[in-house]
Amino acid sequence: MDITDTRIYRFDASGCNGCDVEVLEMSALVPLSELGIEIVERPVEANVLVVTGGANLKSKRELESAYREIREPRVVVAVGSCAATMGIFKGGYSMTGPIDAFIPIHLYITGCPPRPQAILGALAEALQLKVDGLTELLRTPEGFRGDPHVDQDKCIGCGACAHVCPADAIEIADGGAMRVVRFMRQSCIFCASCQDVCPTMAVELRSGDAAWCREKGGSKSEVTLPLARCDVCGSGFIPEAQIEWAMKTVNDKRTLTQDDRVALQGRLRICMPCRRSRIPDVGEAKRLLTSLERTAS
């Protein structure tokens, strides 16, 4: 692409307009003409298509038409989590996206919404724009809440983060002897619910990584944890780290005798289906926990 002739057409494909506002705010950071960028009013005048929002039944047709009209090389930039995954609008009766379901995307900018500085930085990299002298402007401010990072050494794979995530940005996947906890940043809305609920402080929203990626799944943070095997049926069911954390938590509140430790370990290492099939063991486990609670108080 001739970087001296970058013409951008904005398209709001059905969203809250938050990302669209940030795209416009980008033009207030620096005169775009100095970077060789022009915002145009018609797709036929553009060679870059910047899309915000998901896509519904009406906007899908208009977006496909706009894509056909823009000039080569037809660079498409998806701005924000809705453009990548439909975000909070996912599952809506009128939604037909995400955008890459029907037109190719060359760059995903994460956020809900992304900062205008992040949008400008992403475009500068993708379009090879000269941004000399803008380093300080594009720098992420100290203490900014950025992408989620999960610490392999602290995570116990309990799944609390996935339960509270309003954007379905966290995936818990069990396979064979391992559990994978995966934070998919293209869906993240930076609410920090995962960070707040994590019992071991394994999740942190921090800046540092680029707020954009060329492949939708290319921006993620994940850990892999070995699963404990059920003492009854032998199936993997919860991470070993979770059992260790539970034992430590109990022990911090009450020093366990050897008999209590063995009994509690035995109960924790039985999967839920086997617990339901062994009613006498459930009663014994309740008595054990009641005893531990009574002596701890």
Please report where in the chains the tokens 């941004």 appear, as a residue: 131
pLDDT at 2: 44
Contact between residue 211 and residue 146 where contact means Cβ atoms under 8 Å apart: yes
CATH 3.40.50.1820 correct for 6-138: no
The CA distance from 85 to 97, in Å, is: 7
pLDDT at 91: 86
Which residues are bridge partners to 51 per DSSP? 11, 78
Residue count of the chain: 297
pLDDT at 15: 83
> Can the peptide bond before residue 280 be classed as cis, meaning omega within 30 degrees of 0?
no
The CA distance from 226 to 180, in Å, is: 9
pLDDT at 202: 97
Which pTM was predicted? 0.80
Show me where the domains of the chain are located. 6-138, 147-225, 230-296
- In the 8-state DSSP scheme, what is residue 231? T
- Look up the CATH number of domain 147-225: 3.30.70.3270
The 3-state secondary structure of the chain, one letter per residue: CCCCCEEEEEEECCCCCHHHHHHHHHHHHCCHHHHCEEECCCHHHCCEEEEECCCEHHHHHHHHHHHHHCCCCCEEEEECHHHHHCHHHCCCCCECCCHHHCCCCCEEECCCCCCHHHHHHHHHHHCCCCCCCCHHHHCCCCCCCCEEEECCCCCCCCCHHHHHCCCCCEEEEEECCEEEEEEEHHHCCCCCHHHHHCCCCCEEEECCCCCEECCHHHCEEEEEEEEEECCCCCCEEEEHHHHHHHHHHHHHHCCCCHHHHHHHHHHHCCCHHHHHHCHHHHHHHHHHHHHHHHHHC
Q: CB within 8 A of 258, min separation 6: which ones?
A: none
Dihedral of alpha carbons 161, 163, 168, 170, sign: positive
The CA distance from 111 to 116, in Å, is: 10
* pLDDT < 70 positions in the chain: 1-4, 279-286, 288-289, 291-297
